[in-house]
Structure 1
C-alpha cells in the first residue's frame, strides 16, 4: 500500500542526551492517504537507521528535489508504519496537534534551531521529542540557503531562513496555523475561536493585570523568571499562556534598562534604525557580543510594539473600551455588561481563512463542527479571503445544506442548474405574447422595470462598469457623463455580460415568484450575490433563498417593512429611551428616516466591500434573524448625542441621517450592535421575570382563592400597565427567519 508524501526534510535530529554522539538523525515527513482530507494528514519522524538503503535514497531524493502541490510522490505506507515501533520515532495526525513552537537557530551557530510539538491530548506529549534541525548537513536547506544568499537584501528585515521554515510552509498547506500574540515563535494548529481569543492581546493584558495582584506568585529575580519562562514555552500551551503572561510586566521592566533597548526607544521613529535592527547580519553581530540579553530585550520590545499595533487595528485600547462601557454597559447592576461580553464583542480579529475553512470538513466533505461554531467565526471575524466567500455564502444562503457531503453538493448543484434553465429561464426566453392584453402589458412593464434598474446597478464596480460585450473598456472611450445620460434616457441596451445575467436572474425570479413581481431595490440585493458567485444559476438560487427573508420588505401593502419599523420603534423606546423621547419631539418617532437603510440592508450607506462584510454577519442569524435592527439601533445610538444636542425638526433629522452615507465605520457599529443585543437580552429576561412575579402576586392576593371577580380585577390590572415586552420584541430573540409572502396577484395589478 502507498501513501502520498506531501513533505520531506532530512537531517532532523533527536538529541537523546547532552552528548553529540547520542544524537539520532532522521526524516520528518508529512503524508496523507489518497482521498483523505487535510485533517487526516500525519506528521511523522523516523530515524535513518530504521530505513533500508532504497527507502533512505528515495527520501533523500524527495528532500532535495522537493515535494508538494507541484510535485507529488507516493511512498510505501510501511515506511510510516515503522515509526510506530522504532525508538524515539513518532507519528501524529495534524488534527491532533495543538501548537508548534519554532525556535530559530543562533545566527552564529551556537545552537541548532528546534521544533517542539504540543498535542491536544496531554498523554501524547511524552511520545513526541523535541526535533533539532542540523541545517549545516541538510542538502535541501543548504541548497536553499545558497540560492537565497544570491538575492540577499540587507534592508529587507526578513528573518534568517532555516529548515523548519519549510515545515511551517508545508503545514500551512494542510492546516490552519495562527501565530500567537504571546510569543511569535508559537503557532496554534487548527485553533478554535476560543483559543484565538485566549491568545489575543486583550487576553494577555487581562492575565497580566491578574498576575500583578498575585505578588507572591512570581519572583523579581532573573532565575525565577527564566524558570517560569522555560516551563511556559516548553510545557503544554494551556500552561504556557498563563505563565508567560504573568511574567510580561516584570520582563519588560527588566529589559527596558538594557542600553540597546534605550537606544531603540530613543530612535524608534527612525526607519533606518528599525531596518538595521531587523537585519539578519546585525542580529548575528549582536549575537556574538551579548546574544541572550539582546535577544530578550528585542523580544520584550517586539511584544510591546505588537500590542500597540494589535490594539490600534482592533479597537482594544482602553479609551475605546471605556467609551463603549460608558455608552452601553453601565445602566445599573442588573444590565451591566461584563468584561467577557465586552471582550468577545471587541475581538473581531480572526477572519475565516481558506485553510481554516478546510479544517471544518472531513474527508467526505461533511462539517465536523457545529453550525453555530462556524457562524461564530463568520459573525466575529468575517471572511478574510474574498475568494472564499463564493463557497461560504452558498451555505449561508441555504443553497448548500450544512449537513451535506461534497458528493451531495455536487449532485445538488447539477440539479439546481438544470432546474433553473428548464423551469424558469426557458419560460421567458421562449415566451410568446400573452393573449390577454393586460397580462402582456404587465409583463412588458416588469421587463422595463428590471432593465431600468440593471442599467444603473453598481456601475462603479469593474464587473459592471463597461457596457460592452466582453465587459472590458471600449476601444473608443465614452465619457462618463455621456454614459450616464444614455442610461437616464434609455438609449442603450444591456451588453455587459454580467449585467445581462443580472437581467436574466431577475426575469427568471419574476417567473418563480409571479405574485411579487419586480420591485425597485431587488437588483440592489442581487448585485452583491452575483458579484461574489459570478455564476448565473447558483446566483439565482441564492437570490431565491435571500428573497425568502427579504420578500416582506417589498410587499404591496408595505406590511412587512412596517412591522420592522414598529419593532425598531419598540426597541428604541426600550434601549434608548432618551433618544426615543427626543425623536418624538422632532415628529420623527416613526423612524421614517431608517426606511431606506433597512429595506436593502444598508446597501447604499456603505462601500460595496463593507456591505458584503455586513451582510455575511446578518446571514449567520448568530444572535437573531433580525440582527439588522440592532445594527440600525447602533446607528441611532452612535448618533444620539449630536441629534439630541442639535436637532429639533423632522427635516433636520431626515437630512442628518441621509447624509451619513459613506461616513460610518461598520466595524464599530457591529461591535455596538452585539453589545446592544446582549444588553437587550438581559433587559428582556429581567422584564419577563418581573411580569411573571407581578402576575403571581396579583393572582394570590386573595389568599390563593381566585374568584371570577378577582380574576377580572387581575386582568384589568395587567391591562392598565402596558408591558414593555411586546410580541415584536420577543421575536427579536428568535433565530428563525421571519417570512411574509405577497398574496396571489390579481389581474391587472400593475404597480
Structure 2
C-alpha cells in the first residue's frame, strides 16, 4: 500500500514530497499542487469520520477532498470508498468480510488464467504474440519474447530484449473462442505495460510491472466483451502502485471500468468514446457558441482532437500526482473547461488545434481548472434552465 511509506504519517509538506519522490521518481513531482494540511483530507480527519461501528460519515470528508485532495498515506483506503468498493454505511466487519471474499474470487480468476498461460503470476510479462489467430502456438513462444528481471532496463529504453523460455499452453484445438481472444490480447497488454508511467521509480521493479500486467490480463478474462484496449493501463497503474494487495487493486480497477467501460466499447457502427465527444460538443455549444462554430468551421465538429483527453480522463495531460488530485475531485464538468486553454479563434485548422493542446500539456494548474470548471458547470445549468422555462 502507498501508505507503507508513511509510518509515522508525514507532518510537513516537505516530508510528503520526499516520500512521493522516493516512490514515484522526480518527474512525478512536476506538480502545480501545493499540499496544505488544512485543506487536504488528513489521516486524523479521515479516522474521525467513522463512527463506533466503522461506518463512514461521508459528508464530513467530501468537502475536504474537493478542497485539497487526499493525503497519500490514506489514499488507497479513501479510494475504495470513492470508487464504490465499499458503501459508507458498511461496518468494519462487513468490509473485512467483503475484502476477504473478493480476494478469494480474484485468486480463482487468476488461477483460471494461469491454467491457460503459465506466465500469469510468474513475475514475467509477454511482449510478443503468444498464439496465432487460430489458437496455435506462435513461433515466438517456442523461445518467446518474455521480460524477466534482467531485462527491465531494456524495456524502459524501449528495447525488447526478452529472455527465451518454454511455456505450457493448452493444445490450441481445445481452446474456446474466448480463450483464444484472451491469449491474443496478452502481448498487447505487455507492450502497453512497459510503456506506462515509465518515469515512476515504482515500475523500475519487474515485480511491480508484472503485477500491472497480471491485473490487466485477469480483467481481460473477466470482461471479454471489452477485453483489453489501449488506455486501460493508464487507469490501472495508479491502483497497482497504491495497493499492496493485488486483489484490492484489481477490484478498484473493476469499479473504475464499470464507470468507463463504454469509452472502450467498439462496434462496426461506433466507438464508445464518440458519445462522450458528442456530449463535449453539446456542452461547448451552450457555453461558448462562437468557439463551437469556429471548431466546426475548421472541420473539427466531431471533436476527435479531444479523443485521448476524454478516453483516459486527462491522464496524459497532467503529471501523475496532479491526475490523482483531479480524479479525487470527481468533478467531470471541468472536462469541457480544458478547451479554452489551447483552442482560440485564431486557429486555422485542426493541426493547429492539436499543436496548441500539446503545448499546454503539463502547464495547466489543475486547481484553477477545477475552479473554472465548477463555474462553467453552474453556468451550463443556468443556461439550460433558461431554455426550458
TM-score between both structures, scaled by the size of structure 2? 0.73
Within the alignment, does 1:655 sit opposite 2:355 as a pair?
A: yes
The SS at the match of 2:388 is: helix
Give the distance between the partners of 1:556 and 1:654, measured in 2 at CA. 24
1:139-168 CA-partner distances (Å, limit 9, x unpaired): xxxxxxxxxxxxxxxxxxxxxxxxxxxxxx
**Regions of 4+ moved over 4 Å:** none
Give 2:162's aligned residue. none
Partner of 1:101: none
Show the counterpart of 1:532: 242
User: Residue 450 of structure 1 contacts residue 503 of structure 1 at CA under 8 Å; is this kept in 2?
Assistant: yes
SS in 1 for 2:194: helix
Matching residue within 88, 94, 97 for 1:402: 88
1:748 aligns with none
The runs of 5 or more residues in structure 2 that have no matched partner are 1-7, 10-32, 117-169
Could you tell me how far apart the structure 2 residues matched to 1:564 and 1:648 are?
A: 25
Aligned to 1:457: 196
1:576–1:637: 8 Å Cα contact kept in structure 2?
A: no
Structure 2 counterpart of 1:503: 213
Which one of 327, 330, 339 corresponds to residue 636 of structure 1? 339
> 2:283 aligns to what?
571
- Counterparts of residues 510-659 of structure 1 (less than 5 Å): 510-557=220-267, 558-618=270-330, 627-628=331-332, 630-640=333-343, 643-644=344-345, 646-659=346-359
Separation of aligned partners in 2, 1:583 and 1:559: 21
1:7-46 map, 5 Å: none
Partner of 1:387: 73
1:430 aligned to 2:118?
A: no
| Higher RCO (C-alpha 8 Å, min separation 6) | 2
Richer in strand (by share):
1
Q: Distance in 2 between matches of 1:670 and 1:349?
A: 19
| TM alignment of 1:87-106, pairs within 5 A | none
| Count of residue pairs the alignment pairs up | 302
1:153-552 mapped onto 2 (5 Å cutoff): 350-367=39-56, 369=57, 371-383=58-70, 385-422=71-108, 424-431=109-116, 432-435=170-173, 439=177, 441-464=180-203, 466=204, 471=205, 496-552=206-262
Aligned mates of 1:349, 1:577 — CA distance in 2? 40
Which consecutive residues of structure 1, in runs of 5 or more, have no partner in the other structure?
Answer: 1-69, 71-171, 173-312, 315-346, 472-495, 619-626, 690-751
What aligned pairs does 1:62-73 form with structure 2 within 5 A after superposition? none
For 2:123, the equivalent position in structure 1 comes to none
In the TM superposition, what whole-angstrom CA distance separates every residue of 1:611-636 from its partner, at most 9, and x where no partner exists? 11111112xxxxxxxx43x3232111
Q: Decide whether the 8 Å contact of 1:352 with 1:382 is kept in 2.
A: yes
Q: CA deviation at 1:525?
A: 0.9
1:390/1:532 contact within 8 Å kept: yes
Cα distance 1:437–1:659, how it changes in 2: closer, same or farther (>3 A)? farther
The superposition leaves residues 34-82 of structure 1 with CA deviations (integer Å, 9 ceiling, x where unpaired) of xxxxxxxxxxxxxxxxxxxxxxxxxxxxxxxxxxxx9xxxxxxxxxxxx
Alignment TM-score, normalising by the size of structure 1 = 0.39
Quote how far apart the aligned CAs of 1:375 are.
Answer: 2.4
User: How far apart are residue 381 of structure 1 and its match?
Assistant: 2.4
Which is greater in Rg? 1
Deviation at 1:441, TM superposition (A): 4.5
The answer (yes or no) to whether the contact 1:348–1:380 under 8 Å persists in 2 is no
Q: CA deviation at 1:433?
A: 4.1
Query: What secondary structure, in the 3-state scheme, does the structure 1 residue paired with 2:272 have?
Result: helix
- CA shift at 1:419, angstroms? 1.0
